[in-house]
Structure 1
Amino acid sequence: MSNLTDFPNINLIEEQACDWIVKLEGDDPPSAQVIAEFNAWMKQSPKHKSVLLSMTETWGEMEVLSGLSIAPVRPSKRSELRRKIYLPLVMLAALIAGVGSKFVNLLTTVSRPVVGIPVLAMLFTIGLSTWYLIDQPITQNNVYLTNLGEHSEHTLDDGSVLWLNSNSQVEVNYSSSKRKISLLKGEAHFDVVPDAERPFEVYAGNRMVKAVGTAFSVYRLDDRIEVMVTEGKVDLAIMQDTLILSPESHLVNT
């Protein structure tokens, strides 16, 4: 019996979503047949809807969904900022790199207002080296997350390194007296830079793991946490009790 799971081809879905945005954004209203085909495509997979909503939100084309059987979401401040600042650069890079007329046509369709010559000159001077900014993970309110099958690594403000396992989420809050990490779900590994004045605290539900300079992992489940210490020591606080874990310690707490 096979345990393999087929995951959707995200690149193909994004290409199909681009096609639909271009088709629905045309000068003439879409025909009943086009709308029926669009709705059928949307029902094929929940991923189709999420990708389309994400693309229309990012490029400011929420009106594409007007009159269709899709409820647009309110554009976030992040999307508005990224659209206003980076959209002209995306257009320029796409034209120079020759990524394909389909994508360029989409960007041309959604890029209102027209970019002026001085702006284009400035963007050309900046160069395509800034293109990578578009694809960098964006952190909102110091929240880091991964989807299923994803892993990520982040260097925090103090130099400590955070590794996120698949389907995990943490919130980082640093102050002058404390380094607080909230593990909202999943598993995270921390390589902590020593700072005696600011303890490094990881919260998971009503449990707290405290370290000064060490390396350890915390795995949060629905009703318990697992802590693995690979270097140094950590204090584990549960309500009024405190446990001290040393290297290679592995605790499952319920």
Structure 2
Amino acid sequence: MTDQSELAKAEDEAANWAVLLADDPEDAELVRAFSAWLDSSALNAEVWARTLRVHRGMAALSPATRDRWPETASVGQRKKIPVDSDAMRRDAKGIAHFWRALSRKANWLPLASLAVAACLTLALLPQLTLRLSADFFTGTGEQRSLLLSDGSRLFLAPESAVDIAYSDGGRSVRLLEGSAFFEVQPDPGRPFSVDAGGTRTTVLGTAFGVDRTDAGAVVSVVHGCVRVEDRSVSPEVSDNLGAGDRLAVTRGRGASLTRALPGEMALWRRGELIARNLTISEVVESFRRYYSGVIWVAEPLASQRVTGLYRLDDPINTLAEMAEAHGATARQLSPWLLVLSH
């Protein structure tokens, strides 16, 4: 586990590098020193990747930067994707120009450093708050299997969090983020319910999965039956689901019911993903919780459709093979940036 003082030190250094590079992004000696700092530890690379993500969210790197990313050979099966230090340096220049413009407006370079630190704090605060309010949570690429006090079993997907409240009259779980699967021990006197952002699923004894998404929630039943209610959408949802039912509740759009084989539900527990006529961009979304960095897919590759069974626990090689099958390549431009493009 990363020591908090080390993390704070790395974040301060990242903010300082942004200011220094903003002052003179063409200084070759400065860039060499920055590259040495970046390569000196995985923590430095991770913190800098967060800085880049915050920057992209605020203003985004110039699209021209992506056009100048160098071509590399496609990646074969189970081979390590090479890290491109030149592209990493160009990313540094891109963010440097942004912060230089900011500091000129303020006419005070320390203000740019404070801005970087403030943005990093704003970016990380939601995760910190979430974890403080959760009873159990998982990190990137991590799964957990938990035996609850009533004998029910809870499975957490990567980057997921739950809050559990048991009482004499009921068993309540809040899915704060991500995906969870439940094998519930029957107890008619204590109904078991899961709340995912307003979508409430209630059962007596069953096995089912709940996914909380930015758009709403998805409930999938493997066996038994559940009741799903959501009064925040129109029309309101109040449906009974049985084995093989999958109900997707979308904020502002209502709900849609589909059928699936129970054995194909919550395949993330086995580290697998089934894609049926999905765009590559949609498939990549499922891998983001398994990769500690940014995955970027260029057009027209992002819009191409795929069908297949994919391994989630090896995102770099799986996505490289997917890209290669469509005449594209996967390039790891830094330890925390994976690009798929033609």
TM-score by length of 1: 0.47
Higher relative contact order (CA 8 A, sep 6+): 2
Larger relative strand fraction: 2
